[in-house]
Amino acid sequence: MDRLTSMAVFVKTVELGSFSAAAAALDLSGPMVGKHVQSLEDRLGTRLLNRTTRRQSLTEFGRTYYEHCRAILNDVEAAEALAADQASEPRGRLRVTMPVHFGRRCVAPILLDLARQYSALELDLSFSDRLADLADGEYDLALRTGDLEDRAGIISRRVARQQMVVCASPSYLETHGRPEQVEDLNKHEALVYRRAGIVAPWLFPRSDLPTIRFTPPYRFRFDDLDAIADAATAAMGIAWLPYWLVRDRIDDGSLTPVLSREPGFLYDCYALWLQTPHMPRKVRIAIDLIASTLPKLMSAPSP
């Protein structure tokens, strides 16, 4: 007899408590259930069930063997589900959380392209700078930038690097001059980003040395990156922003990059998901597409 089938019959017999109940559940005859259990006992050379006319019970070895059989059958079921999933197109609801501006400008267009390719795929997109807890089961995937906390059960994959750029409008530079090095920023009016009441320092990498963390003089604070870009375009000050956010303004000349001798700081961008024995195909395909597309949007061109 097929060993896996006999294991399945044995497990069902243990769980339902009798040959007759297992036979009814599996659409087999009572004697056939007995033959499957007997086949396992003959193969193993030991008894799995103590049988009487009134009841049956697991032997000590039978209890251990039952736990192993159940684990094996679960693994087989998971493997078959994985094979079926890999053979099908992505379908169902994909729930993704991401930072507001980064998500809207960079990630959402990629996911919408994915939905155009697969008509059975649904998107549920959340734009929030709040860090969602994936363990709550509310989201399948999260996109984040910057440093990550090490959390048990969460898998992360770097999908891109976000390059920062210092920029100002041509009219601002004409009036206030052009900074050539980090120290020159002390002579300028900065437009700074504030989150949870804390002003984020501007970061400038140094090869073989710690990154410079610099907070320039400022009069204006914002908790919205688009508002900073608008203020910089209006010649209200100098800004440190992600290149992808100001790329169009740089291309049309309304903003000009400065400190060209300074290498731009790179923030890592990550995809995060719960560690599971089987990653749904829709999640895997979304991550792969994001990882192949995002880098084209993140980094600034070489000076």
Which pLDDT tens digit goes with each residue over 200-220?
A: 899 999 887 888 899 999 999
Please give the C-alpha separations between residue 167 and each of 147, 196, 214, 256, 264, in angstroms, as whole numbers: 24, 24, 15, 5, 12
pLDDT of residue 221: 94
Which pLDDT tens digit goes with each residue over 142-158?
A: 999 887 776 778 889 99
Burial 92-131 (b: 16+ CB within 10 A, else e): eebbbbbbebbbebbbbebbeebeeeeeebeeebeeeeee
Helix axes 3-16, 60-87, angle to 10 degrees: 120
Which pLDDT tens digit goes with each residue over 156-205?
A: 999 999 999 999 999 999 999 999 999 999 999 999 998 878 888 999 99
Round to whole Å and give the CA distance between 51 and 57: 7
Helix axes 243-251, 281-298, angle to 10 degrees: 50
Neighbours of 235 (CB within 10 A): 18
Which pLDDT tens digit goes with each residue over 3-58?
A: 889 999 999 999 888 898 899 999 999 899 989 999 999 999 999 998 876 678 89
- According to DSSP, residue 107 is labeled I
- According to DSSP, residue 246 is labeled H
On whether the CB atoms of residues 75 and 7 are closer than 8 A, the answer is no
Q: Which of 80-84, 225-229, 259-263 has the lowest mean pLDDT?
A: 80-84
Q: How far is CA 120 from the centre of its chain?
A: 21
Which pLDDT tens digit goes with each residue over 233-248?
A: 999 999 999 999 999 9
Burial 159-171 (b: 16+ CB within 10 A, else e): bbbbbbbbbbbee
Which pLDDT tens digit goes with each residue over 45-104?
A: 999 998 876 678 899 999 999 999 999 998 888 777 776 666 567 888 999 999 999 999
At position 94, the amino acid (one-letter code) is L
Which pLDDT tens digit goes with each residue over 283-300?
A: 999 999 999 999 887 766
On whether the CB atoms of residues 54 and 71 are closer than 8 A, the answer is no
pLDDT category at 2 given cuts 50, 70, 90 is confident
- According to DSSP, residue 261 is labeled T
Query: DSSP assignment of 10-37, as one string?
Result: HHHHHHHSSHHHHHHHHT--HHHHHHHH
Of 6, 30, 28, residue with least CA distance to 18: 30
- How many Cα neighbours within 13 Å face the side chain of 3? 7
Average pLDDT of span 102-125: 93
